[in-house]
Chains A and B, each alone.
Chain A
Amino acid sequence: MKPQSGEEGDLEAEIAEILATELTLPRLSPDADLIGGGYLDSLALVDLVFHLEQRFGFEVGLDDLEARNFSSINHIADFVRKHSA
């Protein structure tokens, strides 16, 4: 699946869906702080990386695993756009 097609916001919605269904997190707003809010721990992060890699077909490397890429749904969406463009 290619995320760049479709309207702005579709990708954010898709990531929100992964967080809610695969990681069983509550429904969060796109700019909610996933790290400060305590929603992401290392187990959840591994899960999330697995689902992003499966869904969007790119590999997440050590240098990608940083707060700026994972601190909110918006940031994750930006990160996915950058890698799968």
Chain B
Amino acid sequence: MRLLQHLLQESAEHRPDATAIVDAALTISFEKLETQTNRMARLLRDRGLQSLDRVGVMAPKSIETVAAFIAVLKAGGTYVPLDPAGPAPRVSRMIDVAGCRLVLVSPEAEPVLAQSESNLEPVVALGALRLEDMLIEAASFPGEPLDVTTGPNDPAHILFTSGSTGLPKGVIVTHANVKAFIDWANPYFARGPKDRVSGHSPLQFDLSTYDIFGSLAAGAELHLVPPRLNLFPKDLPAFIRDRRLTQWFSAPSVLAYMARFEAVAQGDFPELRELLWCGEVFAVPALRYWMVRLPHVRFTNLYGPTEATIASTFFTLDAVPEDDRQTTPIGKACVGEEVAIVSEQGMVAGQGERGEICIAGVGVTKGYWRDDERTAKAFPPVAPGMRTQGRMYRTGDLGFVDPSGNLRYAGRADTQIKSRGHRIELGEIEVAINSIPEVAEAVILALPVDDFAGTEIVCIYSAVDGQALNDTLLRRELAKLVPRYMLPARYEQRPKLPLNSNGKIDRVQLRAELQAAGVEAR
């Protein structure tokens, strides 16, 4: 079996001059990308990088950042995408947890790296290398492909997800995991050389791995979407029009945002064929807005956590939903995957019976980097009655199979939430907020809102006696510890938080109070 970098190599052989990637500033052909990444990989080997070494890449979404990912793979390494916006303590923990020996960094991200107190793997720390210097240095190396000893079951990348104990978890995704998804998805979406596809997801999230490697495999053009276009609702539709995109893939929150401000015209984006979303529920009123305006487009809901690679189930709508209260099924398993509802007794549930959504098959990753305990817990042997051998991933999502045989999502079993496509453990925010010295007590609650964001994060806290603390100060301190998408939208200071009969903070009461006060109905 081939490795992910071979998808590029083949497209470079078949259509060397075709455009591979377009970013805000530049365009690169398959052949140029192939030789450029070979040179960069040789430079990495020359620097002392060895097979299976982890390399952090901390740079904004651009051609050179994607090239750096591919170069790491070609050098036999595993890339670890890191958010160039920080915050520094979180990025620093990720570098440590992944045991990176080298971090490739862009000028924008250098201050964040400088602030972080991470220890690069002590064996032979290769330190930090500026991406722009790397490109210059790499020019003196030959552009021919390298021989590496890595195989399809070796890690391609480590992607971090929010962890309930405050420490992000690094999911180890192999070449074979990603390749298996592409083998299902590219034929299903008929992704080919004539396509122009979006690269909307941030590069730290696994949707981006289908954007990148799915388009390289197809010989399609990948159009990296600058994150600043997410701010004003007119900007993304203008991008889709200007680039004449044929396929769009994102979290549904940005689509709902465009719908909220009515930014899509009737019959807009005439060349768009496929629109797919993943990561959270696409509210039906917004979905219907899109489907009514774009009758020429096929709409597909994908479902699946990072631990089982990109997506594990799919549902293509055959008609515009009639009822706002209707929910969209998450559908059926992608080829090579088995998705089962498992009861509390650990058995495959009967039709209609609720249970935990569990995933087995080609997408199941190796688990969490250097965390055997959590890996064993989340990736047990398959439940009796499943046809796949080996391990499964317990998603923590609840679901059931409806009478038509489609899987349906029915909420979470724990305190993980989705906000604007980001997966967030409320526990991670609570751990961060409770580490602020001025905070006496704090709870984080997620309330459903009738809005494009779907869920609003609310913080209720009390201050240590004698400390001057207010919402603004608290937000500023918290922003140093967690990424912006985890920051609560609302804050409420109280002299003391209510306790329940077990002596714990009474979340049920607080939630009821907030809902009664109409935060939800805002």
B491 within 8 A of A: yes
Number of A-B pairs whose CB atoms are under 8 Å?
57
Does any Cβ of B come within 8 Å of A32's Cβ? no
Total interface residues on B, using CB and 8 Å? 28
Can you list, as one digit per residue, whether each of B479-505 has a CB less than 8 Å from chain A (1) or not (0)?
A: 000001100011100000000000000
- B232 interface residue, CB < 8 Å from A? yes
B25 within 8 A of A: no
Chain A's nearest CB lies how many Å from the CB of B476? 6
| CB interface residues, B 444-495, toward A, < 8 Å | 451-453, 471-472, 474-476, 484-485, 489-491
Q: Which residues of B contact A7 (CB under 8 A)?
A: none
Q: Is B85 a contact partner of A38 (Cβ separation < 8 A)?
A: yes
Which of chain A's residues has its CB closest to B85's CB? A38
User: Whole-angstrom distance between the alpha carbons of A47 and B522 in the complex?
Assistant: 10
- Most chain A beta-carbon neighbours within 10 Å: one of B228, B254, B472, B491: B472
Residues B234 and A41 in contact, CB atoms below 8 Å apart: no
Contact string, B81-116, partner A, CB cutoff 8 A, digits 1/0?
000010000000000000000000000000000000
CB-nearest residue of chain A to B257? A42
Residues in A whose Cβ lies below 8 Å from that of B451: 46
Contact A43 B230 (CB under 8 A): no
How long is the Cα–Cα vector from A35 to B230 in the complex, in angstroms? 12
Q: Which residue of A lies closest to B237 (CB)?
A: A62
B233 and A26 form a contact (CB under 8 A): no
Asked if A55 is an interface residue, CB under 8 A from chain B, the answer is: no
A62 to chain B: which residues have CB within 8 Å?
A: 233-234, 261-263
Could you tell me if A42 and B85 are in contact, using CB atoms closer than 8 angstroms?
no
Q: Which of A19-58 contact B (CB under 8 A)?
A: 20-21, 24-27, 35, 38, 40-43, 45-47, 50
Which residues of the partner chain B approach A25 to less than 8 Å between Cβ atoms? 472, 475
Query: Beyond A46-B257, A66-B232: 15 further Cβ-contacts under 8 Å?
Result: A20-B472, A21-B471, A24-B471, A24-B475, A25-B475, A38-B484, A41-B231, A41-B484, A41-B485, A42-B257, A45-B231, A62-B261, A65-B233, A67-B232, A70-B232
Q: Could you give 28 example pairs across A and B, Cβ below 8 Å?
A: A20-B472, A24-B490, A26-B475, A26-B476, A35-B228, A35-B231, A38-B484, A41-B230, A41-B231, A42-B254, A42-B257, A42-B420, A42-B452, A43-B420, A45-B232, A46-B260, A46-B451, A46-B452, A47-B489, A62-B233, A62-B262, A62-B263, A63-B234, A65-B233, A65-B234, A65-B261, A66-B234, A67-B232
Q: Which residues of A contact B (CB under 8 A)?
A: 20-21, 24-27, 35, 38, 40-43, 45-47, 50, 62-63, 65-67, 70
